[in-house]
Amino acid sequence: MNVMHNMTRLDFEAHQDAIVVIPVGSTEQHGPHLPLGVDSYIAQGISEILATKANVILAPTLTYGYKSKPLSGGGPLFKGTIDLNAKTLIDLVYDILCEFARDGYNKIFLNNAHFENQAYIEEAMDLATAQFPNLKVVQSNWWDVLDQKTVDEIFSDVKFPGWALEHAAITETSLMMYLKPDLVRTELIPEDVLATALPYSVYPARKEMVPECGVLASPKGSTAEKGKLIVDKAIEGFLKIFDKEFK
């Protein structure tokens, strides 16, 4: 595995043809049972496994992300969620992409595990590829590459609440049980909780919009086996993207 932070300059130069994988997460509350670093741990954990299966350089994880929203993570209603403004995230990702491009690394994959980051990463991608015509950048995430059969299997014993309410629920809890089991407080997993999705956004956010525990749907039914299934399918999907976009 080519972990960039562990490589010397000469090691790095010797892998000029590799795909650079940048895990992107956030620092955000994930209820009473999961740590603030869930999105970053998931992005990094999946990327580490991916790096054992393809010719990639694993870049350092970006552990801060765009603002968590009240009905997708809790947002400003919970302490411990440390957000970036849109311009900050765009500039950060743009600068990193440009630096890799200047060094001659023109195949970059952003493995994003925080939904709210997506639009601002894409803005940075657009700006950077306009600046460097030889640069190709792809962004994806673990949930968009899951097929319906896999989703049905994960939620075979409980009702799927929809991706909008899956914050700190079965998928993320299962992923953490598989990738970082020592950080899951299973005894604090909340039950019988379900937020109500709204067809609009409102600010300032009101506390009653989000369940007091900070979880949007019950994580009951989470297992490490489900987490492994998600990881395996994500890796499979990412490798297909590599074959299509980076050959």
pLDDT tens digit sequence for 176-228: 999 999 999 999 999 899 999 889 999 999 999 999 999 999 999 999 999 99
Query: Cα 50 to chain center, whole Å?
Result: 14
Q: Which of 33, 83, 114, 166 is catalytic?
A: 114
Question: What's the token pair of residue 93?
Answer: 């990702």
Catalytic residue among 33, 83, 166, 172: 172
Q: Which distant-in-sequence residues (6+ apart) come within 8 Å of 122 by Cβ?
A: 139
| 48 carries an active-site annotation | no
**Could you give the CA distance from residue 77 to residue 210 in angstroms, rounded to a whole number?**
8
Mean of the per-residue pLDDT values for the chain?
Answer: 96
Cα–Cα distance measured from residue 175 to residue 111, given in angstroms and rounded to the nearest whole number? 15
Question: At 110, is the pLDDT very low, low, confident or very high (cuts 50, 70, 90)?
Answer: very high
pLDDT at 83 over 90: yes
Residue 107's Cα: distance from chain center in Å?
19
Beta-carbon contacts of residue 47 (< 8 Å; ≥ 6 apart) = 21, 23, 58, 61, 111
- Output the six-digit token pair for 228: 């492994």
Of 33, 83, 166, 167, the active-site residue reads: 167
Whether 172 is a known active-site residue: answer yes
Under 8 Å between Cβ of 41 and 226: no
Residue pLDDT, tens place only, 2-45: 999 999 999 999 999 999 999 999 999 999 999 999 999 999 99
Burial string for 59-72 (b: 16+ CB within 10 Å, else e) reads: bebbbbbbbbbbbb
For this structure, is 5 an active site residue? Answer: no
Is residue 28 annotated as part of the catalytic site, yes or no? yes
**pTM > 0.95:** yes
Q: Position of tokens 């690394």?
A: 105
Q: Do 85 and 133 meet the contact criterion of CB atoms below 8 Å apart?
A: no
The count of other CB atoms within 10 Å of the CB of residue 22 is: 25
Q: How many angstroms separate the CA atoms of 209 and 244, rounded? A: 42
In angstroms, the CA 2 to CA 181 distance is 24
Judge whether 33 counts as a catalytic residue: no
Considering the chain, what percentage of its residues have pLDDT values greater than 90?
93
